[in-house]
Amino acid sequence: MSNPSADPMVMTSRRDGVLVITLNRPHVRNAIDQGLADAVDTALTTLDNDPGLEVGILTGTGGHFCSGMDLKAFPTEGVPRVADRGLAGLTRAHRAKPLIAAVEGAAVAGGFELALACDLITAADTAFFALPEVTRGLVASEGGAIRLPRRLPHHLAMEMLLTASPLPASDAACHGLVNQLTGEGKALDAAFALAARVQANSPHAIRATRQVVNATRGLDDDAAFTVQDPITAPVFGTAIATEGVRAFCEKRTPDWTA
């Protein structure tokens, strides 16, 4: 086991326009204290602000994704939020670029809420998800109680929230909560492959699409179109859109930097 005081709480690496953000507190299954929360927030800011980065991947060391809030730190630190961006600077943040959760082992409590805040999820078939907050006198208040009922059948989500029942990754995949199920140790590889599929498309169109999805959630159609149109209208008049259409007609790969 590595010395927890000697290693960075969060490690980052870059590969082909992808920023990998790795939670690195394996001795506590990557539980989130304020130090780790601040480090994740810094990494996410780098992802959004660096024009050389297109997609982020969030994962963990030691065979686990994240066990949630560090309960030993809770009495003195409280919930490890960052400003108005929520748990670890993610669960309430308005991010500009796609983020993929690559889940091995446990993604529970706040760890599951981090995954739910991501755009896409890959998971090993040995991974599992859970929201055990009620067993500790707490509430899944960083997106669990809000997002989970939108992603799963209502009664299954309520069972997880009210009884703390875990959900195996294989079952999560059956219900569409996981984009790609992999063998153990392969979730990160699958996340890179998924990132490459995202990167093949226009960054401007991806950004606008994410913005529409997030801005129109919960609205009726009329209200949603009213919110959507100012976001999408500028996209259609860009040189990027012209390049995409021309490349399709010419049966070639678009040059999104043109």
Domain that holds residue 130: 10-199
Q: Are residues 119 and 159 in the same domain?
A: yes
> Could you give the CA distance from residue 187 to residue 121 in angstroms, rounded to a whole number?
9
Catalytic entry in 133, 142, 184, 243: 133
User: How do strand 55-60 and strand 99-103 relate by DSSP bridges?
Assistant: parallel
Give domain status of residue 164, yes or no: yes
pLDDT (average), residues 92-99: 95
Q: Is 133 a catalytic residue?
A: yes
Give domain status of residue 2, yes or no: no
Catalytic entry in 113, 142, 159, 243: 113
Q: Is 243 a catalytic residue?
A: no
Helices H / strands E in the chain, number of each: 10, 9
Give domain status of residue 167, yes or no: yes
Give domain status of residue 256, yes or no: no
Please choose, from the candidates 96, 116, 90, the residue with its C-alpha nearest in 3D space to the C-alpha of residue 38: 90
pLDDT digits (tens, 9 = 90+) for 28-67: 999 999 999 999 999 999 999 999 999 999 999 999 999 9
Whole-structure pTM over 0.75, yes or no? Answer: yes
Task: Report the pLDDT value the prediction gives residue 136, as an integer from 0 to 100.
Answer: 94
